[in-house]
Amino acid sequence: MAETLDDVLDGQEADGIVTAAAALFARLGDLGDAARMDAVNRLRLALREHSPMRAEPVDCVLWVDAELVAGNEYNPNVVAPPEMRLLTRSIEADGFTQPIVAWPVDGGFEVVDGFHRHRVGKENKSIRKRLGGRLPVAVINSDRTEREDRQASTIRHNRARGQHTVEGMSEIVVELARRGKSDIWIGTELGLDADEVRRLRQVGGVAEMFADQEFSEAWEAADPWSVAVADS
């Protein structure tokens, strides 16, 4: 689509604003890490006031002191140790890709969604050090301030995530195996134990299940693989 004169002028105006802002932002380099992060938070809040997406909480993610972020007592979601380990691994490998959803209370923040992400960011020493003792927070809209609103929001966040299907997980596991990834690598990266990896490979085909194993005409009784075959 051809640009109109207004489009060109708007583009030139935007370029000028970005150039002027970049010159100001360069001065942030003169500040220490903590002061710089505080300044960036303030800039994000100021920028949000001019954003057409300011009604969306994710439009402004703030890095706040982890000690100011606390869980709530009404979250019914419980994460088992294997899932917590996977969550920790995810944040270690991929970084924080989702902010913690919270609401300001008593000079701090109460978690609405992301209680376990907030725990990992607080309690894992290497991640906490990497984040400088801060956590990424998106503040829910002001019309969700009542306790019942926050409770409902917590449940919606928990239940809206859905679940992985066995077939979908099996396809991923089989593809990773075909790409030369070992069962140990697959288990570690996907948060699966050895039995889960084997079962998912079995769903994708018996031949794939034994891709990492050396062929033997005689199974030893003590071999866990032989027990699995005998029981099947």
Q: Looking at the predicted structure, is the pLDDT value of residue 58 above 50? A: yes
Question: For 120, phi and psi rounded to 5 degrees?
Answer: -60, -45
Residue at a domain's end among 159, 175, 194 = 159
- Has residue 1 been placed in a domain? no
Question: Across residues 93-100, what is the average pLDDT?
Answer: 94
The domain in which residue 45 lies consists of: 29-159
Task: Give the pLDDT confidence score for residue 177 in this predicted structure.
Answer: 85
Q: How many CA atoms, within 13 angstroms, populate the side-chain half-sphere of residue 123?
A: 11
Question: For 69, phi and psi rounded to 5 degrees?
Answer: -110, 125
Q: Which residues contact 118 (CB under 8 A, 6 or more apart)?
A: 66, 69, 71, 100, 111, 135
The CATH number given to whatever domain includes residue 127 is 3.90.1530.10
- Has residue 145 been placed in a domain? yes
pLDDT band at residue 142 using 50, 70 and 90 as cut-offs: confident
pLDDT band at residue 218 using 50, 70 and 90 as cut-offs: very low
Regarding whether 78 and 111 lie in a shared domain, the answer is yes
Render the burial of 205-230: b for 16+ CB within 10 Å, e for the rest. Answer: eeebbeebeeeeeeeeeeeeeeeeee
Regarding whether 201 and 89 lie in a shared domain, the answer is no
Of residues 230 and 34, more confidently modeled: 34
Model pTM score: 0.68
- Has residue 4 been placed in a domain? no
Regarding whether 125 and 36 lie in a shared domain, the answer is yes
- Has residue 14 been placed in a domain? no
